[in-house]
Structure 1
Amino acid sequence: MAQRFATPLILALAIIAVWFLADSNFVLRVATLVFISAFAAIGLNILVGDAGQVSLGHAGFLGIGAYAVAVGPASLGLHPLLALLAGVLIAGILAMAIGRPVLRLRGHALAVATLGFGILIAMVINNEAWLTGGPDGMRVARLEIFGMRVRGSDTWYWIAAIILLLGAIVAKSLKASPTGRALRAVHDSEVAAMVAGIDVAKYKNTAFVISAVYAAIAGGLLALYDGFVTPDMAGFLTSIELITMVVLGGMGSVLGAVVGATILTALPQLLTAFAEYEHMALGLIMMVVMIALRAGIVPSLAALARGFGRKAR
């Protein structure tokens, strides 16, 4: 029980610390973007880190959530929260529908199939300009609750922080549940899992649906926060960023997903001083980290800490 809530507690302390240390709205905005990206990465980590499945098109679900809160109020007159709920349902149903056939594939074939899904969603968003605004994107109706508009960096900071904490608690609870144990068994060996009586297809699809729901919520939240959406949100590079967050922080680690999201979201802001060498510096840092910490940042540092602890005894 204590281990289940250790990660949310660490996140809560970090959130409070950043709140008190932040000296500008810019810092709060970057932190809010980190929280939203981390939420999406936690969901993808359930699929990649726990179930051992690859997805290179997860930005498609992010785009579904984002455009749901844009199109819903503009075309159907829905409240933004109802539109977000509709987007989450659409993403979940779509993931359930395509999950069974796609997740039968393995390795490179699975990666290409999920990549194709992401490209398909991005193409629909780009081409259906009458509904989505096409390549130019579209504005998103501002969120209002009980007649009051949700605005301000501090307000959105806490909204994103609370949602991140809830996402981390759900992910950690899932890990400790029978479903989580089944997913780890599938990750270790699908053949052994089947011999043990685990419905491999069912659990892989469950992980796919859960990760899609996380992504759709993150996409909707990001759209509501920015007030504008573009097809880039569902693009290939966004999918690569999400999977990189998971791998960099440490697959299978909820805290690792948050750390990876923090690095990929906040570090580029710190590297702007390098001007045109910004991306080169970011790539070099990522290469050095992955060479030195091959299991990802959090699992590798945890293993080092355990090693030092044993030597100190």
Structure 2
Amino acid sequence: MLTRIPPRVRALLILSILILIAPMLFPSSFYYRIGTLIFINSIAVIGLVILIGYAGQISLGHAGFSGIGAYACALAPTHLGLPPFLSLILGAVISGLLAWFVGRPILRLKGHYLAVATLGLGMLISMVLNNEAQFTGGPDGMMVASLGLTKGLEGLFDVNLKTSVVWYWFAGVMVLLGAWIALNLYNSPTGRVLRSVHDSEIAAKTVGADVARYKLVAFVISAVYASIAGSMLALFNRFITPDIASFLHSVELVTMTVLGGAGSVLGGIAGATLLTALPQALTVFHEYEHVMLGLIMMLVMIFMRDGLLPTLRKTLTRRAIA
């Protein structure tokens, strides 16, 4: 029965069911917060799935765009008088424009040269956020207004996102929307070109694809995803520091993407779930928590080289055929 459903519809259906039934397994309201953080990280990771998994481009500075989105929600209400919801949109627009402007020269690079260039971009954004203390609060961070859709959309909705429970459902809807866009992109003409660029840029050029343009499209889309995730994290925590734009956060996002399966939207979400929830589960090991986390990550990458979800899917398929 499920095999007759189109793959993208099936993926969205599975994701929707998981979002709906997960709260039934929560032992306390604290887990709504963990679920919300999983969804927020998943949004950033879906953007990296488009960039890394679809287009085959690497970025080690994507947390910088998350920082732009986060600080847009912190600064725009104070200095521009914008409501938080419009500040989120402003951050996404700024991130997209910056990605377009910077991506044109750096996406001509390949391999580790591209990785270093994107790393430099992320570090530059992080340095600005740390050093411009009169605007950003410096390393100490700053408070962020709560997201009330009543204010943001002029009374169209009467929802004030203050509790973890409400945030869980709001973030769940957002991750479904992000997954829907990415899954539809996969089999679209643009998605097919991106995947051809991933396989071979020379072959893509041979059939007439504007490789530079499509790489830039993937970079801009992924930057917008990262910005929205950063804005949501700032609005959820109601406090933000420059750590959100740090190199370590960029590596964390890339690790989530690769660990779950870079070419799969559901795989990316699985990776985000694992690396967000697992540290909470490993607290029972106290000082060995990080050792256990590192060991699990190593074992997954050694024995599941394609990523967590694609490897499990292949294993189940082989058993079904056998």
Q: Deviations over 1:207-237 (max 9, x none)?
A: 0000000000000011000000000000001
Q: 1:269 aligns with which of 263, 280, 285?
A: 280
How many residues get paired?
A: 311
Paired AA for residue 229 in structure 2: A
SS in 1 for 2:60: coil
Shift of residue 168, structure 1, vs aligned partner: 0.5
CA distance in 2: counterparts of 1:81 and 1:151, whole angstroms:
14
Paired AA for residue 41 in structure 1: V
1:120-135 mapped onto 2 (5 Å cutoff)? 120-135=124-139
8 A Cα contact 2:85 2:149, kept in partner: no
CA distance in 1: counterparts of 2:42 and 2:107, whole angstroms:
24
CA distance in 2: counterparts of 1:146 and 1:56, whole angstroms:
37
Q: Please give the root-mean-square deviation of Cα atoms over the aligned residues, in Å.
A: 0.9
Percent identical pairs in the alignment equals 58
Paired AA for residue 108 in structure 1: H
- Report what 1:250 is aligned to: 261
CA distance in 1: counterparts of 2:189 and 2:51, whole angstroms:
16
8 A Cα contact 1:247 1:260, kept in partner: yes
Q: 2:178 aligns with which of 167, 170, 183?
A: 167
Q: 2:229 aligns with which of 209, 218, 226?
A: 218
Whether 1:136 aligns to 2:140 is: yes
8 A Cα contact 1:65 1:84, kept in partner: yes
Whether 1:90 aligns to 2:101 is: no
CA distance in 2: counterparts of 1:286 and 1:149, whole angstroms:
38
CA distance in 1: counterparts of 2:283 and 2:90, whole angstroms:
38
Shift of residue 146, structure 1, vs aligned partner: 2.2
Paired AA for residue 175 in structure 1: Y
CA distance in 2: counterparts of 1:183 and 1:145, whole angstroms:
35
Whether 1:205 aligns to 2:208 is: no
Paired AA for residue 125 in structure 1: L
- Report what 2:156 is aligned to: none
8 A Cα contact 1:4 1:176, kept in partner: no
- Report what 1:17 is aligned to: 21
8 A Cα contact 2:73 2:235, kept in partner: yes
CA distance in 1: counterparts of 2:201 and 2:185, whole angstroms:
19
CA distance in 2: counterparts of 1:3 and 1:268, whole angstroms:
31
8 A Cα contact 1:137 1:230, kept in partner: yes
1:286-305 mapped onto 2 (5 Å cutoff)? 286-305=297-316
Shift of residue 297, structure 1, vs aligned partner: 0.7
SS in 1 for 2:312: helix
Shift of residue 100, structure 1, vs aligned partner: 1.2
Q: Deviations over 1:238-265 (max 9, x none)?
A: 0000000110001110000000000110
CA distance in 2: counterparts of 1:107 and 1:276, whole angstroms:
36
Paired AA for residue 86 in structure 1: L
- Report what 2:9 is aligned to: 5
8 A Cα contact 1:190 1:200, kept in partner: yes
CA distance in 1: counterparts of 2:253 and 2:150, whole angstroms:
34
CA distance in 1: counterparts of 2:278 and 2:116, whole angstroms:
29
CA distance in 1: counterparts of 2:150 and 2:249, whole angstroms:
34
Structure 1 stretches of 4+ with a deviation exceeding 4 A read: none
Q: Deviations over 1:27-78 (max 9, x none)?
A: 1100100010011101111000100000000000000000000011122221
Shift of residue 145, structure 1, vs aligned partner: 2.5
Whether 1:193 aligns to 2:204 is: yes
CA distance in 1: counterparts of 2:173 and 2:246, whole angstroms:
27
Paired AA for residue 211 in structure 2: V
8 A Cα contact 2:54 2:194, kept in partner: yes
Shift of residue 104, structure 1, vs aligned partner: 0.5
Q: 1:55 aligns with which of 59, 81, 89?
A: 59
SS in 1 for 2:166: helix
Give structure 1 stretches of 5+ with no counterpart.
none
Q: TM-score, normalised by structure 2?
A: 0.95
Paired AA for residue 13 in structure 2: L
Shift of residue 23, structure 1, vs aligned partner: 2.5
CA distance in 1: counterparts of 2:147 and 2:87, whole angstroms:
11
Paired AA for residue 163 in structure 2: G
Paired AA for residue 78 in structure 1: L
CA distance in 1: counterparts of 2:246 and 2:272, whole angstroms:
17
Shift of residue 149, structure 1, vs aligned partner: 3.3
CA distance in 2: counterparts of 1:246 and 1:284, whole angstroms:
18
Shift of residue 143, structure 1, vs aligned partner: 1.6
Paired AA for residue 51 in structure 1: A
Q: Deviations over 1:151-172 (max 9, x none)?
A: 1111000000000000000000
Q: Greater shift after overlay, 51-60 or 293-302? A: 293-302
Q: 2:320 aligns with which of 298, 304, 309?
A: 309
8 A Cα contact 1:74 1:141, kept in partner: no
